Chain A
Amino acid sequence: MSETKTDIGALRSRISSGATTARAVVESSVKAAEKLNEQLNAFLEIDGNGAPKRAEANAAPDGVLAGIPVAIKDNICVEGMQTSCGSLILGNYHPPYNATVIERLLGSGAVVMGKTNCDEFAMGSSNENSAYGPVRNPWDTTRVPGGSSGGSAAAVASGIVPVALGSDTGGSVRLPASFCGVFGLKPTYGRNSRYGLVAFGSSLDQVGIFARTTEDVARVLGIIAGRDEHDATTADVPVPDYLAEFSANVKGSRLGLPQSLFGEGLDPEVRASVEAAVAVYRDLGAEIVDVELPNAQYSIAVYYIIATAEASSNLARFDGVRYGFRAEEAPRLREMYRKTREEGFGPEVKRRIMLGTYVLSAGYYDAYYGKAQQVRALIKEDFRKAFESCDAIITPTSPTPAFAIGEKVDNPLAMYLNDIYTVTANLAGIPGISVPCGLSSNRLPIGFQLLGAYWSEPTLFKLAHAYETAQPFTERPPVCAE
């Protein structure tokens, strides 16, 4: 049996007791990745030679994650490996430094075994925008795994690794977590460092975590979270011992239910599944309270102004000068920029750069960007008020289970509407976690989302853990490590 299908705690015990070795665990992970990648296309790089050696020569053999293989989304810099961001414009780029979150993982003994496929520059909800082909959902390979961190979600769901990192700008961790049947956390804005995460929307981006148990999510957050002098947006807020506070007792917790978000466009099976989860919480002693989020209906419109504006600015750096791809046969500088960006970026990235440039252009700035930032302030205020009467809010993570590859590629706006439940957390800066809550009638995972106030990750972990204890999700996908 593959070593990597259990959780971190069990793996660490087996390594410590000598039942297995760190090298064997990492080798098992690498072999599973190599085998399953033909079906899933979840990895853009698998370090089959280096990773087992690094496991054996581990600099932190007693670390919390010693010998644990982890998969990293290909927009987070790992020294010695590629960072393509799923784009031709970066191609075979090898960053000269580690992201801070990677430094911290390595410091606790984790072994990076591969880089995962994603939508180009994290722009997408289905993973179909990767220049290297779509990732396939391990539950049904004709369907998308969700995006943009689809490779990381598929790697965890299929048992290749117990934990993976992704990035979440509008739901890019939570959405694929729900489509693949795993836990996915987007922490509070400023909880962890983005140094070494390739920037997309800087007022929205956070590094997030995928795992198959709440405890593993909490364990990894405890390692990567905290202030970093390389990222001025990290907040000087102490990192709690998330595991010490771990409990499944939600008696007296107040769970907010925004009824207005359970309306039009929500798949009946998803609705039934999330309502059943609400009933589980009620049975566990939580109090269900109605909350209003009157401006949430505008969140997609706000998001696609702010995210594209920030992307158009952040992606200006890809110009064929300092790294990555440069177009040939362009004798003048401006022509070289234009051709490099034409040949190097895919359609969704071009669309977003142009939309962002449009909304920021002279004469339109106030009408679009200024207005969006005002409505964003109203959305933040909605959440502040809601959290006066509840400890967390429950919603679906996605309006539907995973859809078919190709189903929405020709209609960008329809694709954007997948993010209706997730973008609000990024706009407000609050944390959110997707929790697997069963399968649809055609055996596709469904997830619900818990949203909390700033720095309320411990509350989210408690609620998620209470649910997973009461309703364990033990099903495994057909494409899975043996």
Chain B
Amino acid sequence: MPITEADVEKVAQLAHMEITPEELKIFAPQMADIVSYVEQLNEVATGNVPPALGGFTPEGEATDSARDDSPAPSLGQEKALAEAPDAASGHFRVPKVL
């Protein structure tokens, strides 16, 4: 089923992105083109092929990345807040939630 402008609007909302009516007119046909292109995968018989889990090599999958659950030095509050658009009293400040 081809992607419509209504689909694109809904997806933008799910992605927390506002899009302008002009953008909608451009994006909807482009996304419809791309989605119809990727639908060529339907012609591949995949049966019970287990899905690949990323680009992992067998050695990568075998690597144990677990570490001890023990405290260690981290970035610290000052550095963590240094790039925030609005920091206050040691916190990230955001507009009203409700």
Residues on A lying within 8 angstroms of B by beta carbon are 93-97, 188-190, 202-204, 227, 229, 232-237, 295, 298, 300-302, 304-305, 312, 316, 319-326, 330-339, 341-342, 345, 347, 350-351, 353-355, 357-359, 361, 368, 370-378, 380, 412-413, 416, 426-429, 454-455
Contacts and interface: CB of A to CB of B under 8 A. Distances in A.
Interface string B65-78: 10100000001000
B7 A233 contact: no
A237 B67 contact: no
The 10 closest A-B pairs by CB, nearest first: A429-B55, A203-B54, A373-B51, A232-B65, A189-B55, A326-B85, A190-B60, A235-B60, A374-B46, A342-B18
Residue from A189, A336, A358, A416 having most chain B Cβ neighbours under 10 A:
A358
A91 to B, nearest CB: 10
9 contacts: A93-B83, A96-B83, A203-B55, A203-B56, A298-B40, A371-B46, A374-B44, A378-B44, A413-B37
B97 interface: yes
A235 B55 CA distance: 12
Contact of B18 (A237, A338, A347, A370): A338
A413 B55 contact: no
A412 B80 CA distance: 37
Contacts of A371: 41-42, 44, 46
A358 B19 contact: no
Nearest to B33: A413
Given A320-B85, A342-B18, A229 B67 contact: yes
B16 A319 contact: yes
A161 B38 CA distance: 39
Given A322-B92, A355-B35, A337 B16 contact: yes
Given A312-B15, A427-B55, A336 B95 contact: yes
A306 to B, nearest CB: 9
Contacts of A203: 53-56
Nearest to B39: A301
B11 A377 contact: no
B17 A353 contact: yes
A332 B97 CA distance: 6
A236 B79 CA distance: 31
Interface residues of B, number: 58
B52 A373 contact: yes
Contacts of B27: 347, 350-351, 354
Contacts of B38: 301-302, 304-305, 359, 368, 372
Residue from A190, A227, A331 having most chain B Cβ neighbours under 10 A:
A190
Contacts of B56: 189-190, 203, 233, 429
Contacts of B58: 454
Contacts of A335: 95
Nearest to A94: B83
B63 interface: yes
A204 B55 contact: yes
Given A235-B63, A354-B8, A429-B56, A342 B41 contact: no
A180 B11 CA distance: 38
Contacts of B90: none
A117 to B, nearest CB: 21
B34 A355 contact: yes
Contact of B59 (A97, A190, A345, A350): A190
Contacts of A374: 44, 46, 49-52
Nearest to A323: B83
